[in-house]
Amino acid sequence: MKVAILGTRGIPANYGGFETFAEELSTRLAARGHRVTVYCRSHHTPRGLREYRGVRLVVLPTVRSKYLDTVVHALLSSIHSVRERFDSVLYCNAITAPFCWIPKRLSGARTLLNVDGLERNRRKWNAAGRAAYSVAERLSTKFPDAVVTDADVIRRYYREEFGIEPLMIPYGGDLRRPEGRETLERLGLSEGRYFLYVSRLEPENNALAVVEAYRRVGGNEPLVIVGDAPYAADYIRRVRSAADPRVLFPGAIYGAGYRELLFHARAYIQATEIGGTHPALVEAMGAGRVVAYHDSPENREVCGEAGIPFDASRPETLSSVLGALLDDPARFNVFSERALRWVQERYRWEDITDRYERALQK
Give every strand in the sheet of 223-226, ordered side by side: 247-251, 223-226, 195-198, 267-270, 290-294, 308-310
Task: Report all structural domains of the chain as residue ranges with CATH numbers, in order of start.
Answer: 2-172+348-360 (3.40.50.2000), 182-346 (3.40.50.2000)
pLDDT tens for the chain, 362 residues long, are 999 999 999 999 877 788 989 999 999 999 999 999 999 999 888 888 999 999 999 999 999 887 789 999 999 999 999 999 999 999 999 999 999 999 999 999 999 999 987 766 677 777 877 888 889 889 999 999 999 999 898 999 999 999 999 999 999 999 888 988 999 999 999 999 999 999 989 899 999 999 999 999 999 999 999 998 887 889 999 999 999 999 999 999 988 999 999 999 999 999 998 877 888 999 999 999 999 999 999 999 999 899 999 999 999 999 999 999 999 999 999 999 999 999 999 999 999 999 999 999 97
Element (H, E) at 198: strand 195-198
Q: How far is CA 60 from CA 8, 16, 33, 210, in A?
A: 12, 19, 25, 37
Are 41 and 27 in contact, with CB atoms under 8 Å apart? Answer: no
**Gap between the Cα atoms of 57 and 46, Å rounded:** 11
Q: pTM for the complete prediction?
A: 0.90
